[in-house]
Chains A and B, each alone.
Chain A
């Protein structure tokens, strides 16, 4: 009888290399010193210091002037209790634009208004355009083409105050904030600015707040005070569905 494979230890969940519960991890990093025996030892000690054992330096070579590039492996005993992990998740419901359009017509009974912008210094509108522009993304049409969405795409480098002014003027249901540039965590600063300014103007609960960007997670968006955060791979219908569901739930709450 072959030996059965051990079950992963969910109470102490660790990475998997080639044996269950082996805790194997691969690393690659650069040290700002020339490669050599001393750099190799420094790398080994570093990785041990981080709590790994069985540390193997697989590769070390020179990267440019005075730097060494290192690839290495180690194992860890430290795990997390997977059974205790809680993460806020967006609804998994997938609807087509036609379904969403007709649900809005039936339940909301008026077009939904959204205003979107890239605020601060961010000049990258790829994400915002993918969600709003007619063409959409990955074969999924953009919100502009929905019968029951009215969209304002303010484009790039929009001051936060202007975004809020416009959302108020348009009587928007939702604000879409797109953040792509993340250098020095500027995306977080700009997200906080929107929340802060809405609060200062007494508009905290006025809009459905949706953030999007490659380094944005739903959990992080919630933490900052948004209603949802969408990341890479999001289709326009995901955003449309979220806005529809939120409006529907809010209306129910009001009635109830």
Chain B
């Protein structure tokens, strides 16, 4: 028996998990290579600068949707939206804003424009893509500079405090976000309206109504970003902003987030498939493009493994969480992403009344830390066992904060005393942040002082989860990820390859004439 600053975990088994996850990633790579989606093509258009909207039946209809519609109706989409934009810019002899105006006014149909020789078009398309890519890099550099100037709380060596705002009204959200930041929050997440993940377009403009959250729009991103930048400048402390990059517009949201300077995006390999019933192929293809954009824009992806524990017992589903973390990592590596940008998710979701639950939770948090050493881990508070008893809830959150600090998590998603009652009120957030400030400050450096028993309960619990994860990944490898999802391997939910929303937005491409130079520019491994 001995004590060490880390849990004894088999390096061989961890390596085995990584190698299986990589092979699972390869299968998905084939799928991505052979297909594209409406969402991905719209994201390409947005990268090129087509972010306007068309007034139609009193609604703002994004021009990118309109353009993909024109191309798809005439069978031209399989060459890639970029190709036909390049063709149009050459035939019309105009720039992107002028072309957008023509389309918005209904004066031009991409589907019926005469076609120029493909060599010329290809060459011009490559230049357009390069310009757009360079623009993204400029945004990134600008953001890095602001972060450095204002002072990055990441350097303090304690978990970042992440809180949500969810009023449904972006202007009210700004008030709540500024208050939270002043109280000590490091990351502000603007919760999205529940309907948005299933919308096949990104709404436009600032919004003041939503259900359980605020619509993610470019204008809303810009408004919140500006407010947090101003506050950060005044306080001398950079405040990160995050939103949701999931659903049918995953990659488009990534583009808008990159343009508007968001720091993180919640982006998970399987969340949309399992919990929003979005077509698996659509999700995986869109996701790859969204991760390429995040990767080059310096945006952290935050994965959603915490969700698996909501429908299963968290004591028993550790293997699913860990397996998914390896898969998320493999997909992100396919997109050329640095490990320091992978905010791998997990959560404290065990029943608080289990005996030794605090030991089990600490073991899980610590093993996650050790298995993904470079990742700014995203650790989520307990929500499943919140009952409306705000006082008990606060006690659970305090232990959560302590485990987060003890195991050096990158980000802790602070629990709210009023979880399970309503979206947080101003005072709920204040109380929550106050508690976290106390714990994080008071326990700074604690992880370097204590050790784990080599033959203790926690070491055994961690080893068991790792063993089960190897088994689970081996089973998934044997039948393939999509089949595994169908067979309820994750969260007890079954989804089929052809089923789910957005399946019709997937189309096969022949890479000999389909063009999307962003893949190469952004360092895709696919």
B422 within 8 A of A: yes
Task: List, in ascending order, chain A residues with CB within 8 A of B431's CB.
Answer: 69
Task: List, in ascending order, chain B residues with CB within 8 A of A45's CB.
Answer: none
Inter-chain contact A65/B175, CB cutoff 8 Å: yes
Complex CA–CA separation, A105 to B435 (angstroms): 54
B283 to chain A, nearest CB (A): 15
Q: Is the interface of B mostly helix, strand, loop or mixed?
A: loop
A124 within 8 A of B: yes
Task: List, in ascending order, chain B residues with CB within 8 A of A125's CB.
Answer: 275
Inter-chain contact B194/A30, CB cutoff 8 Å: no
Question: Which residue of A65, A181, A233 is within 8 Å of B211 (Cβ)?
Answer: A181
Inter-chain contact A63/B183, CB cutoff 8 Å: yes
Chain B, 157-184, CB within 8 A of any chain A CB: 168, 175-176, 178-180, 182-183
A183 within 8 A of B: yes
Complex CA–CA separation, A186 to B168 (angstroms): 13
Complex CA–CA separation, A136 to B404 (angstroms): 30
Using known A-B contacts A130-B311, A181-B211, A181-B212, determine if residue A123 contacts B427 with beta carbons closer than 8 Å: no
Inter-chain contact B198/A157, CB cutoff 8 Å: yes
B226 to chain A, nearest CB (A): 16
Question: Which residue of B210, B421, B425, B492 is within 8 Å of A30 (Cβ)?
Answer: B425
Interface size on A, residues (CB 8 A): 30
Question: Which residue of A63, A135, A157, A232 is within 8 Å of B311 (Cβ)?
Answer: A135
> Interface digits, A124-165 against B, CB 8 Å rule (1 contact, 0 not)?
111001100111000000000000000000011100000000
Question: Which residue of A29, A123, A134, A181 is within 8 Å of B276 (Cβ)?
Answer: A123
Complex CA–CA separation, A69 to B434 (angstroms): 12
A169 within 8 A of B: no
A107 to chain B, nearest CB (A): 31
Inter-chain contact B179/A65, CB cutoff 8 Å: yes
A67 within 8 A of B: yes
Complex CA–CA separation, A129 to B430 (angstroms): 33
B446 within 8 A of A: no
B217 within 8 A of A: no
Chain A, 91-116, CB within 8 A of any chain B CB: none
Q: Is the interface of A mostly helix, strand, loop or mixed?
A: loop
Using known A-B contacts A126-B311, A181-B194, determine if residue A69 contacts B211 with beta carbons closer than 8 Å: no
B277 within 8 A of A: yes
Task: List, in ascending order, chain B residues with CB within 8 A of A30's CB.
Answer: 425-427, 430
B423 within 8 A of A: yes
> Interface digits, A43-82 against B, CB 8 Å rule (1 contact, 0 not)?
0000000000000000000011101010000000000000
B142 within 8 A of A: no
Interface size on B, residues (CB 8 A): 37
Complex CA–CA separation, A69 to B433 (angstroms): 13
Question: Which residue of B176, B178, B421, B430 is within 8 Å of A69 (Cβ)?
Answer: B430
Inter-chain contact B195/A64, CB cutoff 8 Å: no
B420 within 8 A of A: yes
Question: Which residue of A64, A123, A130, A181 is within 8 Å of B183 (Cβ)?
Answer: A64
Inter-chain contact B430/A64, CB cutoff 8 Å: yes
Complex CA–CA separation, A214 to B126 (angstroms): 53
Task: List, in ascending order, chain A residues with CB within 8 A of B168's CB.
Answer: 183-184
Inter-chain contact A63/B426, CB cutoff 8 Å: yes
Chain A, 178-194, CB within 8 A of any chain B CB: 181-184, 186
Task: List, in ascending order, chain A residues with CB within 8 A of B463's CB.
Answer: none
Inter-chain contact B277/A63, CB cutoff 8 Å: no
Interface centre among B176, B178, B182, B211 (most CB of A within 10 A): B211
Task: List, in ascending order, chain A residues with CB within 8 A of B193's CB.
Answer: 121
A-side residues, CB < 8 A to B, are: 28-30, 63-65, 67, 69, 121-126, 129-130, 133-135, 155-157, 181-184, 186, 214, 232-233
Ordered by A's residue number, 25 sampled pairs between the chains whose C-beta atoms are within 8 Å are A28-B427, A29-B427, A30-B426, A30-B430, A64-B179, A64-B182, A64-B426, A64-B430, A65-B179, A67-B426, A69-B431, A121-B193, A121-B195, A121-B211, A122-B194, A123-B194, A123-B276, A124-B194, A126-B311, A133-B492, A135-B492, A157-B195, A157-B198, A181-B194, A183-B211
Task: Please name 7 further chain A to chain B contacts, defined as beta carbons within 8 Å, in addition to the given A64-B175, A64-B180, sorted by A numbering.
Answer: A30-B425, A63-B430, A65-B179, A67-B427, A123-B198, A135-B311, A182-B422
